[in-house]
Amino acid sequence: MPKAYDYDLRCKVIEAIELNGMKRCEASELFGISRNTIHQWFQLKAETGDVKPKPTEHRGHSHKITDWETFRAFVAEHPDKTQVEMAELWQDDISDRTISRALQQLGFTRKKRLMVTESEMNKSEQISVSI
């Protein structure tokens, strides 16, 4: 959803039309907004008495994990579980994708090995020796 125009701009446009007698189409060109937007602002002012933008509802996924300390302790308690198993063990009904997002938020990665394996080290050593 696009961001709402600033309240200051809305006030300037309404003031230019009401107090200065500017036509809506002139204000539209001067301020670089559509006439439909100006019309909607006048309707909003008639309904609410002000041109403040309406509050928007939160878009996106639901935030089911809100207590991050509890979740961090839960992860420390079950470090060997998969995301699906963690989702089943969590106190609320959540998906494994929610667990995945929460783990990312805490900085956990899916990669388990921090060092390369010995066989990969041998391959890189063989390449450097043959060059």
> Has residue 31 been placed in a domain?
yes
Q: Are residues 72 and 39 part of one domain? A: no
Task: Identify which has the larger pLDDT, 115 or 17.
Answer: 17
Number of domains in the chain: 2
| pLDDT for residue 67 | 87
What does the alpha-carbon distance between residue 77 and residue 90 come to, in Å, rounded to a whole number?
12
What does the alpha-carbon distance between residue 4 and residue 55 come to, in Å, rounded to a whole number?
10
> Has residue 55 been placed in a domain?
no
Which residues, 6+ apart, have CB-to-CB distance to 3 below 8 Å?
Answer: none
Which token pair is 99? 């667990």
> Has residue 118 been placed in a domain?
no
Q: Are residues 11 and 40 part of one domain? A: yes
| pLDDT for residue 57 | 74
| pLDDT for residue 123 | 58
> Has residue 116 been placed in a domain?
no
pTM given for the model: 0.47
Which residues, 6+ apart, have CB-to-CB distance to 106 below 8 Å?
Answer: 68, 71, 72, 75
> Has residue 36 been placed in a domain?
yes
The residue segments making up the domain with residue 92 are 68-106
